[in-house]
Structure 1
Amino acid sequence: MTNETRVPERDLAFLSYGFRPFFLSAALFACISVFLWMLLLDGTLELSSPFTPTDWHIHEMLFGYASAVIAGFLFTAIPNWTGRAPKRGWPLVFLVILWLIGRLATGGILGMEPIGVMLADLAFLVAIVAMIVVEIVAGRNWRNLIVVVPVLLLLGANLTFHVEVHLTGVSDVGRRLGVGVIVFLIMLIGGRIIPSFTRNWLVKRNSEKLPAPMNRFDALCLLTGGGVLLGWSFFPYEPTTGWIMLGAAGLQGVRLSRWRGASTWRSPLLLMLHAAYAFIPLGLVTTGAASIGWISPASGAHLLGIGAIGGMTMAVMIRASLGHTGHKLEAGPLLSVAAGMIFSAALVRVCFPEAFVGSVSGLWIAAALWIAGFAIFSLKIGPYLTRTSRKPT
């Protein structure tokens, strides 16, 4: 008898699928890191990180939190694409340890030199790329090999972030590249799952009007969206960048309208996916306006970072966690409130950058909403992720 067969199944559940450890780790880290960020701003806490407090916050949201969610999603989706068994057990332990080492290193807790911090942090994404390639090649699922490209770009953005900080003291291109790559991933993957889930739900209700199938228009949206995000990364203050971004925002808005989101109001689980994607055209509009010089650059960055990235990752984690642990695909009141808090955090952060109530700024309110939203997710979904599923995943 092997060791695995002697261990009760419930003890192995947490490491039986990629989404389990990474979604829970990401949600807990989302709470902890933003709480620490507020302490840093308040002067209560100091880090011996090679990054400035602002760079540490941006880096950890992009390459700490979001990277963990991406890993959880990919290692849950890839077995469905390839028909191969999911990564489980020690390979997942190894990946989680690499991710944790990166968080400790960038926080200055391991006392490493900047080069050591960079290598420790990059190791996680390097391992993710290697495992994705091995799984897709072994399963001969060549069509989905394209997902390696955005992950490689995210790795490149992380490398750029570290190099910029090492050479100049602050990040510039790297932070925008990180946001751009993750938003493009949402465009790519969201463009598959949102209309597909919506179509399935509407078909069950005998609806005659269904989401438009993916076609050349979607390819145009991806091409223009990816191109303008790349241009913004390197030329953020050029009016030409801004005008092109406004055009890309319009295309993304039309794309979203073709998915019949308004018809999903009875399903908060679906509606939150559409709402999260809506922050992409909204964020592109405000970012484009900032490039032209009409508004502050921070507005678009927060709509894309909190609303699109935070909102979409929250919505995807809720749906995947419920579905793969055998629970009904219904958000319920608590999880609906949690998602609403993330969307509200984005709007409050942008609309009330200064005083909100008395001397309390929108920044603090937004941080409280973000922390509360992910705390609710952790308390509600956490037990599902650590226990044996009600049915096979």
Structure 2
Amino acid sequence: MTPPIPNLSGTGFVPVEVIKAQMRPPRHRVISDEGFRLFFPLAALHAALWPFLWVALQDYALLGATEIAPTVWHMHEMLFGAFGAALIGFLTTAWPEWTDTAPLRGRALWGLAGLWGGARIIGLLGLDALTPFAALCDLGWIAALVVYGLRLSWRQRSDTLLAFLAWLSAFAAFEAVTRAQMTLGDSFAATEAVKTAGLVFLGLLGLALSRITVPVSNLVLDPSGATSPYRPHPGRLNLASGLVALVIAARIAGASEAVTGWLLIAAGAAFLDRLAEGFIGRAALRAEIVALMLPSALAGAGLIWLGAVGLGADLSTAGGWHLALMGGLGLAVLAVMSISGLFHTGHSLPLPGAVRGTLTLLLASVVLRLAPETDLLDPFHAHLAASVIWAAGFAVWLWRYLPLLANPETLGDHDGC
């Protein structure tokens, strides 16, 4: 039993627990202490609710979409909504750590959240008339991240962030093109632009995985952290991202479907090649390694699928895009949020059992989403089941991690990565 301490007011004794409770910062300050605490839950909340609401309540027939196809809104909102929030949380947490600077806190993070959230409300209903305002919101948070990264790089005289800044600038450029085409009412051009934005995100994924895989693998192999038995192959660090850049360049240059198809297959093969980094003996079956390898596997398979379509295969392009983006990026977001969320709250591996369940649910939802593309299920029931299981996966993650992220006892706790 904790001994009481004197109450200076002379009214008796106050337990230490009461004193500590009174000294704890408000919940909103805890959640905005670092980017991951605020934006990882927002990413999970968006990923859980938005797709389910689109399918279950509207059957993709967005209430405000009078000119732009709902599929454009759907793809855009997943990239810049759920995945965008995870990106903000990751970069505003990782960049200060990599440059040994203080992280963004408080009003700066709430400002980014306000810009991000404003566009998401518009995207939920597909309000075509408010597209220019939504564009300003999304371009605002991306531009803020670019400026923030440039300031850190200049202050520290470091080139560590430059590759991320280049991809982030490309992300902003294709967001601008997408929003411009949406404003003009050109669904086809907007679709092509947002697809290219998806490829840019895959480029960012390749960079992020190359930075995360090394410390995680070493911690799995030696939990003490005293040694670093894992050494990645230097050629794999930027190969996947570099080949994705070639695909983007080919699309911009108007290359033939065959040329773009071969480049897509090459980029997909580079992502599959990253699976070799997971071959670390029996530890390859650990949830942490599986969570980092599956995104590369699904992204690679999706890109190869799209490349095969370009070469004349009788496959739907929707299947390839969902495999690469819903599967590859979706599981990558889960892996990054799960691992970073542990390390930055003073915890370490292994991942909680809930994450294994979430991985299983997300994989099942991807399979269900692909079922109509192979004529196994009718679209509505397959999409509804996929959205429910997808939502359940991120809801489980939120249930398990929100108490960690909002816990004032974990402020300032870091354990690598």
* TM-score scaled by length of structure 2: 0.83
1:76-115 equivalence runs, <5 A:
76-107=93-124, 113-115=130-132
State the match for 1:367 in structure 2. Answer: 387
Matched, 1:42 2:42: no
Task: Give 1:109 shift.
Answer: 8.6
RMSD: 2.9
- Per-residue CA deviations over 1:140-168 (Å, capped at 9, x if unaligned) read 32232321111111111111111122234
Aligned residues: 387
- Asked whether the 8 Å contact 2:45–2:395 carries over to 1, the reply is yes
Which residue of the partner structure matches residue 392 of structure 1? 413
Q: Is the 8 A contact 2:48 2:391 kept in 1?
A: yes
Contact 2:128 2:183 in 1 (8 A): no
Quick one: distance in 1 between partners of 2:66 and 2:134? Answer: 9
Question: For residues 343-358 of structure 1, what are the structure 2 equivalents within 5 Å?
Answer: 343-353=363-373
Partner of 1:267: 286
Matched, 1:242 2:288: no
Taking a change above 3 Å as real, the CA distance of residues 357 and 88 of structure 1, as seen in their structure-2 partners, is same
| Bigger mean CA offset, 123-132 vs 219-228 | 219-228
State how far apart, in whole Å, the 1-side matches of 2:395 and 2:277 are: 33
Residues 104-142 of structure 1, C-alpha deviations (whole Å, 9 max, x = no match): 244469895443332233222122222222233223322
1:116 aligns with 2:136: no
Q: Give the SS at the match of 1:361.
A: helix
CA distance in structure 2 between the partners assigned to 1:220 and 1:331 by the alignment: 28
Pair 1:284-2:300 in alignment? no
Residue 399 (structure 2) pairs with residue 382 (structure 1): no
Counterpart for residue 169 of structure 1 = 186
SS in 2 for 1:337: helix
Q: Name which of structure 1's ranges 245-254 and 378-387 shifts more when overlaid on structure 2.
A: 245-254
Partner of 1:334: 354
* 1:150 has 2:150 as partner: no
Cα deviation per residue 1:246-297 (whole Å; 9 max; x = unaligned)? 2332233223214426643452122211112211221111111111121111
Q: Runs of 5+ in structure 2 lacking a partner? A: 1-21
The code of the aligned residue for 2:149 comes to I
Specify whether residues 335 and 240 from structure 1 end up closer, same or farther in structure 2 by C-alpha distance, changes over 3 A only.
same
Aligned residue among 63, 70, 79 for 1:53: 70
Indicate if the aligned counterparts of 1:326 and 1:389 stay in contact, CA closer than 8 A: no
Determine if the alignment matches structure 1 residue 316 to structure 2 residue 336: yes
Taking structure 1 as reference, are residues 7 and 53 closer, same or farther at Cα in structure 2, changes over 3 Å only? farther
Q: Larger deviation: 103-112 or 160-169?
A: 103-112
Q: Given that residues 306 and 345 in structure 1 are in contact (C-alpha distance below 8 angstroms), is that contact kept between their aligned partners in structure 2?
A: no
In the alignment, the residues of structure 2 paired with residue 270 and residue 217 of structure 1 have an alpha-carbon distance, to the nearest angstrom, of 17
Q: What is the CA-CA distance between 1:37 and the residue it aligns to?
A: 1.5
**Which stretches in structure 1 are left out of the alignment for 5+ residues?**
1-5
Aligned counterpart, 2:151: 134
Match of 1:9 in 2: 25
- CA positional deviation for 1:205: 9.1
In structure 2, do the counterparts of structure 1 residues 223 and 120 end up closer, same or farther at CA, with 3 Å as the change threshold? closer
Which has the larger displacement, 32-41 or 299-308? 32-41
For the Cα contact (< 8 Å) 2:50–2:124, is it kept in 1?
no
Residues 49 and 106, structure 1, Cα contact 8 Å, conserved in 2: no
Q: Quick check: 35-44 or 182-191, which moved more?
A: 35-44
Please give the alpha-carbon distance, in whole angstroms, between the structure 2 residues aligned to 1:261 and 1:352.
36
Match of 2:321 in 1: 301
Specify the code of the residue in structure 1 equivalent to 2:333.
T
The answer to whether the 8 A contact 2:65-2:126 is kept is yes
Q: Does the Cα contact within 8 Å between 1:242 and 1:289 map onto a contact in 2?
A: yes
